[in-house]
Amino acid sequence: MNWTTILIDYKNYLKLERGLSDNTISNYEYDIKRFISFLNHNSNPKSPTVIKDEDIQQFIYKISKELSPRSQARIISGLRNFFDYLVFENYRETNPVDQIESPRLGRKLPDTLSIEDIDNIISAIDLNYQFRSVNLGHRNKAIIETLYSCGLRVSELIGLNISDLYFDEGFIKVSGKGNKERFVPIGKTTQNLINIWIDIRKHIDINPADKDILFLNYKGSKLTRAMVFTIIKKLVEKIGLQKTVSPHTFRHSFATHLLENGADLRAIQMMLGHESITTTEIYTHMDKSHLNKIINTFHPRK
């Protein structure tokens, strides 16, 4: 069996059986192809059915010189899942990754913006900005507010449909990882900004395939992840903010600010769409750091 055939079968399995998103599947495929490239580069183009743990170890040794421990752990996990699939389908008897240990990872706390940082970023948006006669300033403001006020992933943001907006009830419907749907509260301020953009959107020549997509580019097509990153990068540079800010930073800030103001961890888990509350619990560590800072700053016997 060759790699091309098995990869096609594996991708179908991930999509149809496990319900993973196209983006997640692409990441799995990329890491496997990286392993294949390593084998080919070393003049050792073995079939996936005869790979041994020595092959995996040599590959991990190589990438350990190039990648962070976190990236190494992700690749090892992806390869383990791939060979588990081969065992499950009776292409192999054993998984060559079973004896491979992932590097130990320290718990990485997400970057967080202060409320002042977020206000400054939003204030920096030029609401008169137009491109090809389309006002994109109001779109950009609605994008930032939606990321922060609803705690969305960037993939969830660009996939948001007009038919997912339930403003009368105060919710939006979000399609998260594995196409799992959840309802997230949305405030009046963000609703108003989205409605302003919808009025502008009516004057765009919209691609029929994207007619229900909320956030569009000037051509009337769905935004890319890269475009959202670019919008944020330019705003951060404009205000001279010395932090690494991505769309996910607004999601982390959403959760952190809720917890700092007394929100229930279970409620935050539901709004973020975390399958396990242990994922959400990282924010409790951030909250403790915040409390320690307050004590050290204000308590008379610090």
Identify whether 233 is a catalytic site residue. no
What does DSSP assign to residue 97?
T
Chain segment 73-104, per-residue pLDDT in tens:
889 989 999 999 999 888 888 998 887 777 76
Q: Are residues 196 and 232 in the same domain?
A: yes
Contacts of 215 (CB under 8 A, 6+ apart): 139, 142, 143, 157, 158, 160, 197, 222, 223
* pLDDT band (50, 70, 90) for residue 295: very low
The phi, psi pair for 240, rounded to 5°, reads 70, 30
Quote the number of domains for the chain.
2
What CATH number corresponds to the domain at position 231?
A: 1.10.443.10
Identify whether 248 is a catalytic site residue. yes
Q: Are residues 66 and 177 in the same domain?
A: no
Chain segment 52-69, per-residue pLDDT in tens:
888 888 888 888 888 888
Q: Are residues 25 and 131 in the same domain?
A: no
Q: What percent of the chain has pLDDT over 70?
A: 87
Q: Would you say 216 and 204 are in contact if contact means Cβ atoms under 8 Å apart?
A: yes
Residue among 62, 80, 225, 274 flagged as catalytic? 274
Identify whether 61 is a catalytic site residue. no
Identify whether 274 is a catalytic site residue. yes
Residue among 177, 182, 225, 290 flagged as catalytic? 177
Instruction: Name the amino acid, one letter, at 281.
Output: E
Burial, 246: exposed, middle or buried (Cβ in 10 Å; 0-12, 13-18, 19+)?
Answer: middle
Task: State which residues form the domain around 201.
Answer: 115-296
Q: Would you say 192 and 141 are in contact if contact means Cβ atoms under 8 Å apart?
A: no
Residue among 34, 62, 74, 248 flagged as catalytic? 248
Identify whether 80 is a catalytic site residue. no
Residue among 153, 201, 252, 257 flagged as catalytic? 153
For residue 105, is it within any domain?
no
Tokens of 15: 């999509």
Integer Cα distance of 35 and 245 in angstroms: 31
